[in-house]
Amino acid sequence: MLKPSLLTAALLAVSAGAHAQELNIYSARHYQTDELLYKGFTDQTGIKINRIEAGDAALVERLKSEGAKSPADVILMVDAARLWRAEADGLFQPVSSKILAERIPANLQGGEPGKDPQWFGFSTRARVIVYNKATVNPADVDTYEKLADPKNKGKVCTRSGSHPYMLSLLGSLIERNGEAAAEKWARGMVANMARNPQGGDTDQIKGVASGECGVALTNNYYYVRMARSDKPEDKAAIAKIGFLWPDQAGQGVHMNVAGGAVARHAPHKEAAVKFLEYLASDKAQNYFAAGNNEWPAVRSVKSDNAALEALGAFKAESVSIGAIGRNQVTAQKILDRTGYR
């Protein structure tokens, strides 16, 4: 018969083992393909997944309010600016993983330079340019820099300057060209606005199609969604606009990520790391990317999304996603100084 102390230890070990067969995910993603992701992980490991889905901002506030008592193990978010902000708020922890280090490109890993990464991009999206084919010469708008050229005065439409997509793009331009050039670009953009920054990316596309805007910025998947739509109004809009990969003769199109991290107070850290490693697997990569018409982050994995392939090959920037995140404070100051609302 086990002595009381040994029995207690045995019961605690069994309890800990059972507890480790769960994983709590806080996710800003809500795609049908994620069900296949979660099922695949559970089938492979036997670990049950519990999840909470909300917007990035709501998840961050929840994590802050829960503090050290948070049950969150894995955090999934959908923009480098948001991921960096959560890192800066101390909501993630460093991850040492040979699998992630080998499979996720170094420029798609975020965290403090010289230390183990705190977050990883698992899919990528491009910030592309759409233009009105009847009124705009594509050669005049085929780089981000040209959008700020005086020749495009009264033609440009974008989201708000405070939106994470804009912060991430400007963060990239700061890294690529320097702060002074980035500020000059922002001033040129403000001078060229067809209307005050407003709405989402779909609104920018529709504005170009209606003729209110000559040219606009959008993430690739908003364009793909409209191109795949069966709605007559969407088909009519797409017929009026052209699509461009920016900066193909230069540093390449700006790329952002959807990514994940291990929560700072994760009660099941080992299982959390195992889940991130699973997201980097060939099968999971296509599931993760397919949910939002994005590309796998792992370079050896080829997208099987026909709609994306129809957009053609392109040159992507190699800027560090971590640097893009760190630059967002400077980016916001530039946008404020230039009146980019």
Condensed to tens digits (0 to 9), the pLDDT of residues 124-179 reads 999 999 999 999 999 999 999 999 999 999 999 999 999 999 999 999 999 999 99
Res 29: pLDDT: 92
Same-domain pairing of 54 and 147: no
Listed in sequence order, the residues at least 6 apart from 73 whose beta carbon sits closer than 8 Å to its beta carbon are 23, 24, 25, 262, 263, 266, 267, 268, 269, 271, 272, 275
Candidates 228, 285, 236; CA nearest to 100 is 285
Distance CA 110, CA 262 (A): 12
Which residues pair with residue 262 across a beta bridge? 74
Res 20: pLDDT: 55
Where are any strands of DSSP class E within 54-158?
A: 74-77, 109-110, 119-132, 156-157
Confidence band for 55, pLDDT divided at 50, 70 and 90: very high
Q: Would you say residue 12 has pLDDT above 70? A: no
Task: Report which residue type is found at 171.
Answer: G
Same-domain pairing of 90 and 140: no
Q: How many domains, the chain?
A: 2
Distance CA 73, CA 162 (A): 29
Could you tell me if residue 4 is inside a domain? Answer: no
Distance CA 14, CA 225 (A): 48
Same-domain pairing of 246 and 162: yes
Candidates 294, 284, 319; CA nearest to 109 is 319
Res 13: pLDDT: 38
Binding-site entries for Fe cation: 30, 221-222
Binding-site entries: 30, 221-222
Distance CA 35, CA 58 (A): 21
Which residues pair with residue 124 across a beta bridge? 257, 295
Location of structure tokens 């009146």: 339
Could you tell me if residue 316 is inside a domain? Answer: no
Same-domain pairing of 56 and 165: no
Phi, psi for residue 227 in degrees, rounded to 5: -65, -30
Location of structure tokens 């080998």: 102
Distance CA 12, CA 186 (A): 59
The percent of residues in the chain predicted with pLDDT above 70, rounded, is 94
Q: Is 183 exposed, middle or buried (0-12, 13-18, 19+ CB in 10 A)?
A: buried
Same-domain pairing of 150 and 246: yes
Distance CA 156, CA 190 (A): 9
Same-domain pairing of 73 and 195: no
Could you tell me if residue 28 is inside a domain? Answer: yes
Q: Would you say residue 17 has pLDDT above 70? A: no
Q: Are 29 and 53 in contact (CB under 8 A)?
A: yes
Could you tell me if residue 311 is inside a domain? Answer: no
Distance CA 163, CA 245 (A): 21
Same-domain pairing of 237 and 286: no
Same-domain pairing of 289 and 238: no
**Per-residue model confidence as pLDDT tens digits over 278-299:** 999 999 999 999 999 999 999 9
Same-domain pairing of 82 and 165: no
Instruction: Give the residue numbers spanning the domain of 197.
Output: 125-253+325-337
Could you tell me if residue 10 is inside a domain? Answer: no
- In this structure, the number of other CB atoms found within 10 A of the CB of residue 195 comes to 13
Could you tell me if residue 8 is inside a domain? Answer: no
Res 16: pLDDT: 41
Could you tell me if residue 72 is inside a domain? Answer: yes
The torsion of the CA quartet 205, 210, 216, 217, rounded to 10 degrees, works out to: -10
Same-domain pairing of 56 and 179: no
What are the Cα distances from residue 124, in Å, to 43, 108, 294? 26, 9, 6
Could you tell me if residue 310 is inside a domain? Answer: no
Radius of gyration, alpha carbons of the chain = 22
**Per-residue model confidence as pLDDT tens digits over 60-118:** 999 999 999 999 999 999 999 999 999 999 999 999 999 999 999 999 999 999 999 99
For the chain, give the number of residues. Answer: 341
The torsion of the CA quartet 217, 221, 225, 227, rounded to 10 degrees, works out to: 60
- CATH code for the domain of 143: 3.40.190.10
Q: Is 30 exposed, middle or buried (0-12, 13-18, 19+ CB in 10 A)?
A: exposed
Q: Helices 328-337 and 80-88: crossing angle, nearest 10°?
A: 110
Same-domain pairing of 27 and 58: yes
Same-domain pairing of 118 and 141: no
**Per-residue model confidence as pLDDT tens digits over 216-273:** 999 999 999 999 999 999 999 999 999 999 999 999 999 999 999 999 999 999 999 9
CA 308 to chain centre: 17
